[in-house]
Homo-oligomer: A and B are copies of this chain.
């Protein structure tokens, strides 16, 4: 082995720069732990976020530190890897450099795993009234809005305004929208039910709005029907075929109808972060970079784009979805490709995506899971969902603590993270 390495190594070890410490970037870094190379992981946050549970932070079920861990501490034993807290400004492909605010970092290989952000489909002015859920700060800001709406309703003498304050509109009927609607309705009907004196939180209205004909459009239609039924049982009002034409502080316009609501949340669409722009590369409709079968970009075989920022089709010709398992698989694949080049081994076959199913929870007793040949739903699926997510957390710190807090919350119906912090008590 030692001889083999000395044959291929140049004067300095090759440097691999990874931008973004989400699932794609982090698993790429971990997969290169034993590579004789210098790995630099750059992120603008100091933590890796377990995004599938972010809606729980927004709904005050988990604390931010339950689902986010310092990147440094995850990688502390990986001596070939260093972590930089910084924000990438641009990529200089000709010079093979990543441009930061105050320095430039050279690379031999570059992995861009910068993920996606909300897309307001041309209505960026809606963002301030209808925040989306992508970051920890998004989640704590949504938590503050939700809890303050009840507090303000408790103080409010006017019945119409009180009704507006206690109406919550969620735009977008995909997994995030369904999860948010279910958990916010439970917050109102169970967790907060006995907490107020002037208002009855159970009279709050949670409305889930979907532009298409059914919820969970990527799932089988029978699952969509089931999700709708469960949400109605959780007192969520579901509106499909319903296009939002405007959002502002008063509420949401559905065609000509104004739905007065103090709190509106956006779960309707994402767009890839500015990688396409950095690379001046060909992108798809939502800004994802079109990558080659080995996830590198055209003309630059040492530059890779993975995860939500990449657009690629699987062997059946279907688009690889923007979900955590896909990003994780791509991160590991690219690590193999780079490893083969660094060690002068045979190039691996093209990236092959193994779909691990479509997953969504609906409230705290139901979930839907769709595998190619079997569909699960209900309480049993909820347990499978919980176990799979805790299993997925393994390798990251403190899954035990998260599961303990889940169990505690499940038994007591309490939500410990129900704090209104940050900018005073007006938003």
B63 A421 Cβ-Cβ under 8 A = no
> Which B residues lie within 8 Å of A69 (CB)?
416, 418
A72 B420 Cβ-Cβ under 8 A = no
CB-CB contacts of A77-118 with B at 8 A, as 1s and 0s?
100001111110000000000000011000000000000000
Q: Is A47 among interface residues, defined by CB-CB distance under 8 A?
A: yes
Contact of A73 (CB < 8 Å), options: B72, B76, B195, B408: B195
Q: Chain A interface: which size bin?
A: 35 or more
A136 B421 Cβ-Cβ under 8 A = yes
Q: Is A292 among interface residues, defined by CB-CB distance under 8 A?
A: no
Q: Is A159 among interface residues, defined by CB-CB distance under 8 A?
A: no
> With the chains together, A45 CA to B404 CA distance in Å?
27
> Which B residues lie within 8 Å of A398 (CB)?
408, 414, 416
A416 B397 Cβ-Cβ under 8 A = yes
Copies of this chain per assembly = 2
Q: Is A318 among interface residues, defined by CB-CB distance under 8 A?
A: no
> With the chains together, A404 CA to B401 CA distance in Å?
8
- A46/B420 contact (C-beta < 8 A), A151-B85, A425-B85 known: yes
B408 A65 Cβ-Cβ under 8 A = no
A195 B47 Cβ-Cβ under 8 A = no
> With the chains together, A64 CA to B197 CA distance in Å?
26
> Which B residues lie within 8 Å of A197 (CB)?
82-83
> Which B residues lie within 8 Å of A408 (CB)?
398, 400-401
A76 B155 Cβ-Cβ under 8 A = no
> Which B residues lie within 8 Å of A400 (CB)?
408
A154 B84 Cβ-Cβ under 8 A = yes
User: Which residues 130-178 in A have Cβ within 8 Å of B in the complex?
Assistant: 136-137, 140, 147-148, 151, 154-155
Q: Is A419 among interface residues, defined by CB-CB distance under 8 A?
A: yes
Contact of A46 (CB < 8 Å), options: B103, B198, B419: B419
B155 A86 Cβ-Cβ under 8 A = yes
Q: Is A248 among interface residues, defined by CB-CB distance under 8 A?
A: no
> With the chains together, A308 CA to B216 CA distance in Å?
54
A52 to chain B, nearest CB (A): 18
Residue of B nearest to A408 (CB): B401
> Which B residues lie within 8 Å of A64 (CB)?
63, 419, 421
User: Which residues 292-349 in A have Cβ within 8 Å of B in the complex?
Assistant: none
B147 A46 Cβ-Cβ under 8 A = yes
Q: Is A44 among interface residues, defined by CB-CB distance under 8 A?
A: yes
> Which B residues lie within 8 Å of A198 (CB)?
82
> With the chains together, A105 CA to B69 CA distance in Å?
45
User: Which residues 390-427 in A have Cβ within 8 Å of B in the complex?
Assistant: 397-398, 400-401, 404-405, 408, 414, 416-422, 424-425
> Which B residues lie within 8 Å of A416 (CB)?
65-66, 69, 397-398, 401
14 contacts between A and B (CB under 8 A): A45-B420, A45-B425, A46-B147, A47-B420, A70-B419, A85-B151, A87-B425, A103-B155, A136-B419, A136-B421, A137-B421, A398-B416, A401-B405, A404-B404
A residues with CB within 8 A of B: 44-47, 63-66, 68-70, 72-73, 76-77, 82-87, 102-103, 136-137, 140, 147-148, 151, 154-155, 192, 194-198, 397-398, 400-401, 404-405, 408, 414, 416-422, 424-425
Which 8 pairs from chain A and chain B are nearest by CB? A72-B195, A82-B197, A65-B417, A85-B151, A63-B63, A63-B65, A70-B418, A76-B194
